[in-house]
Structure 1
Amino acid sequence: MKILGYLTRDILLHTVAVSFTLLVIIFSGRFVKYLAEAAVGNIAADILLPVMLFRLPGFLELILPLGLFLGILMAYGRLYVESEMVVLSACGVSPSRLAAYTLVPALVIMALVALLSLLIAPLGAAQSSALLDDPAKSQGLQNLAAGRFQTRSGSNLVSYAQTIAPETGIMQSVFLSQRARSSDGRPELMVTFAAEGEIVINPDTGARYLELRDGYRYQGLPGRPDYQVAYFETFGELIPEPEGGIRSAARVDGKPTVELLASSAIADVAALHWRLSLPVTVPIVAIIALCLSRTDHRRGRYIKMAPAFALYLLYLVLLANARSVMEESGGSPFVLWRVHLLFLALALSLLYGSGVWRKLRFRLANRSRHAAA
């Protein structure tokens, strides 16, 4: 029990340290990226930090398995370099027993990841989506400021609203101007006037639309007589979201797990098996890390860090691709689970492969000696 407590404490301390470092790096990078969106008006600045905090469990469910993986590599790498593993082996601690000891902290992390993946992260995603979809926090085409002309980032669109109701986000006296090209390639100008407008969110897809009411659209080249005038009672235009932006996360991530269990939609089934598969990765990567941590004093404790990290990234990439295949082609969930089976086989081969190969060579050598005698 003392050995188990010693190994468990060492692994968990390294896991917490690595996970905290990774969390600070990833959280800071995402915060700076989303802060740029707030700077150009894609989201309200005052909800940026609450939205990031609500999405924190979604970061942790991916960071903790990686933190455990690197924590085992660092903890056991130190034990190998300082010859403590040699002492444990001489005291009768076999690879199987060491794997059993390693699975104890892995099961703790697995339970935490399962709690995050199945319960806490969906709640956080739903809360962040509710904040982003709040009309009072998403005013106008790009959080328009009343009485100011604004230019949308990455386009030639100029927008203006005379007044904006803070409770509903409804804009009065809306003006839009955008440079574009006609079907024959000629430059032209599109100018839109509307009595009022507001942001409308599709409840199924989460896409945002600018809906204008009671207005006119003028399209053509200034100074030329061949321009078009169109009157509309209602006019809607999709508001494109920046790639990788804060609203780009799929709406299915905010659905409760119970709702996914009762759904037969392809996206919901893929999301459900993705949530179930995240905890399964923890014991698998723990065994792989145990096997890859073997080193000695000459090679050092960090010699296998880079290839081990590349192997972990390959694991995650294959899982993400399997989920994409399920969503796009409606494939069986086995597409996702066969990735786990592949890496489970790899973990077992790394753990027992050398021992099986030694026994096989020993038996072949004995048979050769008996045959020669």
Structure 2
Amino acid sequence: MIFERSLQRELAYTAGAVFMVLLTLVLTTMMIRIVGFAASGEIDPRDVLVLIGLTVIGYLAIMLVATLFVSILFVLTRWYKDSEMVVWLSSGVSLTQFIKPIGIFATPIIILIMFFVFVGWPWSNQQSKLIRARFQQRDEVSLLAPGQFRESATSHRVFFIEKMSPDQARVENVFVTSTENGKVNVVVSKTGHTETRKNGDRFVVLENGRRYDGQPGQPDFRIMEFERYGVKIQSQPVVNTPSTTGTPTLTLLRNPTNDNLAEFAWRAGLPLIAINLMLLAIPLAHQNPRRSRTINLVMAVLIYLTYSNLLNVVQSWIEQGKMSFPVGLVGLHVIVAAIVAFIFWLRVRNRPLFTRAIFSRSQGA
């Protein structure tokens, strides 16, 4: 029918615009957050763009759910605002007949949501974790920067170098201080280089320098001159934090612990949220043409945030064992589907969502 083609065409244009706005917001937020991590030394600055891309891939499913809901609501609200909906409804098109064209439009988006939540979300989180772990395993030499004091996280050492070769093999004018058993050791040298032993240990070999040993506040400092002095390079230990966000979906089902089942319930919940919100947007778009569209937008934001937060609560309850997995998987969505069906029934019967009878009586009195 003509109205189906018109509806789907306008939905496609609106969905593209809404998605670009959401993508811009997510990119801006993630860029500020990840650049902050790089500035604080938690990630490698060279990995910023990669981590931003991986984060966007992880959040694509959530953005697509919001895009689907908002675009349907925007288009139908505009039709009510411009009285186009009145024309279609008076031509014999019922409100339930909008489900088919909107469902056809939403089907590829829901498939993309399923792909990104079941495949893209765990993959992006796993890759981000690997990048962070690789950065955690960097050795002390990689922390050094010419002209800057750097403290090692694995030992009580502070390094300072004046010059360094591009390949980090040669250093000049080196200062190293460390604390051992209450004593301070200070080593200074003119030049140095890195060496790797057969067993894999790496050393910074300092040349033509001095070592000062002693206890602060005591005069018995020892001074030693050396031609070669080796400082072992230590790597930072990898801090493994238990997380199911990077676990592949099939692995969650093969190992059905509470945490894994809770993560699977959250992933499976996003496509179900998309379907329920897609249907809810049809009756929710109804409004008086003289009323502003801002009200519908505010309601959409509140409904989306409430629904998604309830899904997070269900996930938490499954993790804690307060709710069984089958109930947590479908219970919330069945309740929302029943509410959507009730709202549809009210709109088909041409009844308001919130009765004004009491308000009218009070005015008459």
Q: Verify same fold: TM over 0.5.
A: yes
Give the Å deviation of 1:320.
0.8
Q: 1:299 to 1:190 in 2, by over 3 A?
A: farther
Which residue number in structure 1 is paired with residue 337 of structure 2? Answer: 344
Instruction: Point out where structure 1 has 5 or more consecutive residues left out of the alignment.
Output: 168-172, 178-188, 194-220, 225-234, 241-246, 359-373
Letter in 2 for 1:290: I
Which residue number in structure 2 is paired with residue 368 of structure 1? Answer: none
Which residue number in structure 2 is paired with residue 257 of structure 1? Answer: 249
Q: 1:291 to 1:143 in 2, by over 3 A?
A: farther
The answer to whether the 8 A contact 1:150-1:158 is kept is no
1:55-134 equivalences in 2 (<5 Å): 55-134=55-134
The answer to whether the 8 A contact 2:139-2:236 is kept is no
Cα distance in structure 1, aligned partners of 2:268 and 2:36: 34
Give the Å deviation of 1:146.
5.7
1:160 to 146, 158, 161: 158
Cα distance in structure 1, aligned partners of 2:29 and 2:22: 11
Letter in 1 for 2:6: Y
Cα distance in structure 2, aligned partners of 1:158 and 1:330: 45
Q: 1:48 to 1:158 in 2, by over 3 A?
A: farther
1:195-274 equivalences in 2 (<5 Å): 251-274=243-266
Cα distance in structure 1, aligned partners of 2:182 and 2:332: 51
Q: If the length of structure 1 is used for normalisation, what is the TM-score? A: 0.68
Give the SS at the match of 2:143: coil
Give the Å deviation of 1:29.
0.9
Cα distance in structure 2, aligned partners of 1:108 and 1:115: 11
- Percent of aligned pairs sharing the same letter: 24
Cα distance in structure 1, aligned partners of 2:266 and 2:99: 26
Q: 1:159 to 1:83 in 2, by over 3 A?
A: farther
The answer to whether the 8 A contact 2:137-2:235 is kept is no
Letter in 2 for 1:266: N
Which residue number in structure 1 is paired with residue 328 of structure 2? Answer: 335
Cα distance in structure 2, aligned partners of 1:176 and 1:341: 63
Cα distance in structure 1, aligned partners of 2:24 and 2:262: 29
Letter in 1 for 2:247: K
Letter in 2 for 1:291: P
Letter in 1 for 2:144: A
Which residue number in structure 2 is paired with residue 7 of structure 1? Answer: 7
Give the Å deviation of 1:355.
3.9
Give the Å deviation of 1:256.
1.6
Give the Å deviation of 1:175.
6.2
Give the Å deviation of 1:121.
2.5
Q: CA RMSD in A?
A: 4.0
Which residue number in structure 1 is paired with residue 309 of structure 2? Answer: 317
The answer to whether the 8 A contact 2:265-2:328 is kept is no
| 1:54 maps onto 2:46 in alignment | no
Give the Å deviation of 1:222.
6.8
Could you give the per-residue CA deviations for residues 56-94 of structure 1, whole angstroms, max 9, x where no partner exists?
A: 221111111111111111111111111110111112111
Cα distance in structure 2, aligned partners of 1:191 and 1:278: 58
Cα distance in structure 2, aligned partners of 1:110 and 1:30: 24
Q: 1:222 to 1:88 in 2, by over 3 A?
A: farther
Q: 1:16 to 1:159 in 2, by over 3 A?
A: farther
Q: 1:55 to 1:192 in 2, by over 3 A?
A: farther
**Structure with max Cα Rg:** 2
Give the Å deviation of 1:336.
4.4
| 1:287 maps onto 2:304 in alignment | no
The answer to whether the 8 A contact 1:77-1:302 is kept is no
Cα distance in structure 2, aligned partners of 1:191 and 1:38: 34
Give the Å deviation of 1:306.
0.6
Query: What count of residue pairs does the alignment treat as equivalent?
Result: 299
Cα distance in structure 1, aligned partners of 2:140 and 2:295: 52
Tell me which moved more, 299-308 or 43-52. Answer: 299-308
Cα distance in structure 2, aligned partners of 1:318 and 1:192: 56
Could you give the per-residue CA deviations for residues 104-160 of structure 1, whole angstroms, max 9, x where no partner exists?
A: 22222111100111122222222222222225x7525897326743479xx9x9863
Which residue number in structure 1 is paired with residue 29 of structure 2? Answer: 29
The answer to whether the 8 A contact 1:74-1:302 is kept is no
Q: 1:133 to 1:176 in 2, by over 3 A?
A: farther
Letter in 1 for 2:261: V
